[in-house]
Amino acid sequence: MPFDLTAARRARTPAHRPRGSRPRRWRFWAVAYTLLILLTGTNLPTPLYRGYAVKFGFSPLVVTLIFAAYAAVLIPSLLVAGPLSDVVGRRAVLVPAVALAALGSLVFALAEGTAWLFAARILQGAALGAASGPLTAALTELEPGGDRRRAALVATVASAGGLGLGPVLAGLLAQYAPAPHVLPFAVELVLLVPGAATIATLPTRRSGARWVPRRPQIPAVTRTVFATSGTASFLAFAVIGLFLTLVPTYVATLSGSGNPLLGAAVVVLMLACSTLAQLAAYGRPARRLESAGLPLLATGLVLLAAAGTLSSLALLLVATVIAGVGQGLVFLGGLTAVNQAAPAGRHADILSSFYVVLYLGVGVPVVGVGFLATAVGLLVAVRYFAGVIAGLCVVVLLARARR
């Protein structure tokens, strides 16, 4: 789930909130906890894929297909569940979503073959797509002081925290605890219990509105900006997809270490650099952010390829930091540009389309890397991927300058 720092900063506090409508403070933080744990669960498999590949005997291509299946289910779930929860109430959507998340973890824990991994990942994608919008909306509704900006910031921190906590938790348990492919998901199931209890206490509000599934649409006045910024962000999230699927195995190959925590740490380093870059650069013009981020992203990718050629773990870490900063700047710039270009009353539709582009970036290009890795090996496949994405970053940068 991409985390929206712009939304977190730009949301505004309503001028008035009825005195009797303020929920208890614990419920607000319990909903934030639920969002954190759901994101944690969907990112637990990241450092475990290499072990699954050895256990079940599949190639890097299968890893990328498992990840793509997750994204393919998440996108329609995201588009359907948000407006549905506005009509039938948050609890009616969130209870099944948390149940699907628990079922996904259970399938991972009991997995006896590759098909189980596909099934578990599909369940996780459906759960996160259904839960992310309603949980974020519930945070806004439950914030004790009615401060929408604070609620959005808490949602951002919870999302970013889950992206990083999942790989670290799974890596730690896989390396230093028994049952490396069972215990992380057993812990997730236990952590989901308070979240499920929280969801069960949410009010059952229903609106009189008619449910209409959200269909992404781009108005003509926004298409040029959407095309350039959407393409740049697609490339930035293609890098995220690579790190979440194949980089842990890439790290293990370069380091000669089978420690899953090492690969997880590299993924977390990348995500942390992206988040810090967004926090530091917030408020800068969108064009400047993308113009700074695209060259950094390209540089990080070139160094990532060079690290494989030179078998240098130190160079890989440098590449991770630079690529993470570049990714954060490109995402923030693209989101800012699309937000500014969207006409009044169309922000929701356009941002939905933008997030669809991001998830496609996460799930689609990495499948190509998987095909290449099967044919020529992982190190060479990553080198090709890095070269192509770096070149496309330069093309988009030149297109922006020309426009």
Name the pLDDT band for 323 (thresholds 50, 70, 90): very high
Bigger pLDDT: 390 vs 155? 390
8-17, 33-42, 128-137 — most confident range: 33-42
Instruction: Give the pLDDT score at 213.
Output: 61
Q: What is the percentage of the chain residues whose pLDDT exceeds 70?
A: 86
Structure tokens at 280: 């530091």
Question: Is 70 exceeded by the pLDDT of residue 42?
Answer: yes
Which amino acid makes up residue 328? G
Q: What is the mean pLDDT of residues 2-15?
A: 47
Whether the CB-CB separation of 337 and 229 falls below 8 Å is answered with: yes
Q: How confident is the model at residue 305 (pLDDT cuts 50, 70, 90)?
A: very high
Conformational region of residue 24, where left means phi above 0, alpha means psi within -120 to 50, and beta covers everything else:
beta
List the chain domain ranges.
Answer: 1-10+23-203, 218-403
Give dist(CA 88, CA 159) in Å, integer: 24
Residues in the chain: 403
For 218-403, which CATH superfamily applies? MFS general substrate transporter like domains (1.20.1250.20)
For the domain 1-10+23-203, what is the CATH code?
1.20.1250.20
| Angle at which helices 223-245 and 378-402 cross, to 10° | 160
pLDDT at 231 over 70: yes
Q: For 58-77, what is each residue's pLDDT tens digit?
A: 888 898 899 889 988 988 88
Q: Is 70 exceeded by the pLDDT of residue 215?
A: no
pLDDT tier at 13, thresholds 50, 70, 90: very low
Q: How would residue 11 be classed by pLDDT, with cut points 50, 70 and 90?
A: very low
Contact 212, 296 (CB under 8 A): no
Looking at residue 282, its pLDDT comes to 75
Asked whether this chain's domains 1-10+23-203 and 218-403 adopt the same fold, the reply is yes
Which pLDDT score is estimated for 8? Answer: 47
> CA angle at residue 157 from 268 to 30, to 5 degrees?
120
Classify 146 in phi/psi space as left (phi over 0), alpha (psi -120 to 50) or beta: left
pLDDT category, 190, cuts 50, 70, 90?
very high
Q: Are 143 and 90 spatial neighbours (Cβ–Cβ below 8 Å)?
A: no
Task: Tell me the CA end-to-end span of the chain in Å, nearest whole number.
Answer: 30
